[in-house]
Amino acid sequence: MSLITPNQSLITSSVKDLVVVLTGGAQGVGRNVVEQLYSAGAKVIFGDVDDNLARQVISSLTSTSSSSSSDQDPGVHFVHCDTSSYNDQLSLFQTAYSRYQRIDVVIANAAVSLPRDPFSAANLTNEAILTAPTMAEVDINLKGVLYTARLGYYYLRKNPNPEHRGDLVLVSSIAGFKECEGLVSYTASKHGVIGVMRGLALQAAKEGVKINTICPWMTKTRMVRGIEKGWFDLGLPSNEPADVAQAILICATANRSPTPEQGHQGAVLPFSGKILWVGGGKSYEIEDRLQSLEPEWLGHENSEILKKGQEYLHSAETSWDNK
């Protein structure tokens, strides 16, 4: 585990004029990301299903802005977007690309957590079992992230620098790698987000696209209202939405440092295929250590055999297509 301390100078200097597409930007963590990006001079195009809140974000930023954005381009734009709809997401990306002719950073942030899990007692009655449960968490949190990742990967690959075409940041959760009783569908969906990163990171890195994942612990958003009193009574640590937004910006800028010395303290470059756990307002990279300890938790012999299998599967000559 490595503590990553953000270099604010790097964030400020490298974010300016970047074109960023983000899902779920009208409130909570997403809104904080939009605000931090915009204040640093990025061009932000975000999607959300809440039109009223999204317009409030636009209004609050543009009415008080001292940035260099012109009347012709306010620098922040909203597109109505249900992330479970591929066409909605396609429209979001097309709008961004049509306006700026490039996309530099993509952030898959939109997510939901429903109060009654399909495995709760209320949903396992004789009557309830006759009706298919909602799959909204899977549709938005996982299928939506797959859509964002696919579209983001497509557009980022258009950028000219083969070493670094752009950054794709996926927001998972502590539920992405820890058991969470009472949140079965949510936990499954957030585990899946890490799966998207692990499945795509190696392929994407070969084409200069860096993909990383954020796993926040308890964060003060409306998702946690039901548990926050007991949490704080225990004196447990928590994140502000701005803390998670900072972790996202670490991932979006880590590979943009002119030199390693000017980067984020603790970040090992290239910054790709990483997982940032955010707890108590701080960001820790955990994937590198997990992978390095594989011989311990899988067994040395098993790890060596697995390595050979992975090398074969990752070979350019190997294809899953059996036709």
What are the residue numbers of the active site? 172, 186, 190
Pick from 211, 222, 195, 194: nearest CA to 248: 211
Closest CA to 151 of 78, 209, 215, 214: 209
Cis peptide before 162 (omega within 30 of 0): no
* Sign of the dihedral through C-alpha 6, 109, 105, 60: negative
- Per DSSP, the three-state class of 166 is strand
Token pair of 145 as six digits: 């992230």
Partners of 212 in beta bridges: 169
Q: Alpha-carbon distance 12 to 36, whole Å? A: 9
Residues present in the chain in total: 323
Question: What's the rounded Cα separation, in Å, for the pair 277 and 40?
Answer: 24
Distance of alpha carbon 122 from alpha carbon 95, whole angstroms? 42
- Using the Cα atoms of residue 185, residue 191, residue 195 and residue 201 in order, give the sign of their dihedral: positive
Q: Kindly tell me the burial class for residue 164, based on how many C-beta atoms sit within 10 Å of its own C-beta (0-12, 13-18, 19 or more).
A: middle
Q: Is the dihedral of CA 155, 160, 162, 166 positive or negative?
A: negative
Alpha-carbon distance of 16 to 5, in angstroms, equals 20
